[in-house]
Structure 1
Amino acid sequence: MVEVKNLLKQERVDYILAELQQRYPNPPIPLDHKDPYTLLVAVLLSAQCTDERVNQVTPALWELADNPFDMALQSVEDIQAIIRPCGLSPQKSKAIKRLSEILVEQYGGVVPEDMAILETLPGVGHKTAGVVMAQAFGVPSFPVDTHIHRLAQRWGLTNGRSVEQTEKDLKRLFPKETWNDLHLQIIYYAREHCQARSCHGLVCPICTTCYPNRKHPKKIKKP
């Protein structure tokens, strides 16, 4: 009987790239938006909230204000009343109003195409800024969320406990021109095939191909 071996790291990288490209050749951006500003707000709202819920809430928010000039004039209470279903609405409503004011006061109402500046805006962390850079401006970025952090560990691509370390490891392994699509492809794959409570590194096609000899659930280092 021929022994089936686990794939080496470079073999895993090549296989994962090919498999995800075949499954999701043109991955759509999951958050509905009109421009960089509405994407920025939508990504901010998606913290600890599903993309589906955000997409249900944002049409009413855009009716209230869909640009920083108009949003800066709204009260925190009116913004919060609309975004409450997304959770963390007190913090998010204050952040949306203040970042809109800053965009108007300092940047002429334009979302800066600059990662460092984006990270200084209220409610905008490293991941949110990376998503905007990738999806609004097409700048190669690899924003890592909990889905990507979990799968990168299951696939043996990182041992990092933090999402920052996972991002660094993935950027070293994958070609820069693949980052923007790959970040979305992994998220879609995680949701459909490698969920947190079902695969455990033992069930989905990529896990079983990369590690055919794995017998026990892969323990994940949580960020």
Structure 2
Amino acid sequence: MTTTRVPQEQRTRAMRQRLLEATIECLVEHGWSGTSTTLVSQRAGVSRGAQLHHFPTKSDLVLAAVAHLSEVRGEELRAAAAGLPTGRRRTRAVLEMFADHFTSPVFSAALELWVAARTDPALHAAVLPLEQRVGRDAHRIAVAALGVDESRPGVRELVQGTLDLVRGLGLANTISDDTARRGRILAAWAQTLDAALEAA
């Protein structure tokens, strides 16, 4: 019986991926302060030596996870946008798509990094440009999903205000289950947004 050897480059890539995903999982479950390189290597099933070879410090590991996280968030939103319904309930579906995104574990991990970056200059320098890119991507996805023309006065502000509103609802959900209230607000805002976009 012959065994197929996986190329070293492929094994290295897979190990890095496991470490990055384990970092995100640890951030969600334990927060920034509770996440350590030891905990991440255990979660990833990677030896401490191998983890230190790829990411010598917690900062190295977390900064790589920030970049990975921004890609995952963009991919999740684009995949969700591709499955949106057409017709009169589309606006509500767009709002629910973003609400799902801003209450997901991936967003919770990003939130842990935002809070930590407030007082960590190196982390702040890494998080800020990536968050700006995620924000621009989310805005573009929202514009396309809503089918609106940003050259019309007030439309850009309506789209950005909508994203800020839904992100705020996601933040509220980190403390307690806010599902019922969020649903009522999204239903009301969908009607308001449709009327405002039509008027614009």
Q: What is the TM-score when the length of structure 1 is the normalising length?
A: 0.29
The structure that is helix-richer by fraction is: 2
Q: What is the TM-score when the length of structure 2 is the normalising length?
A: 0.31
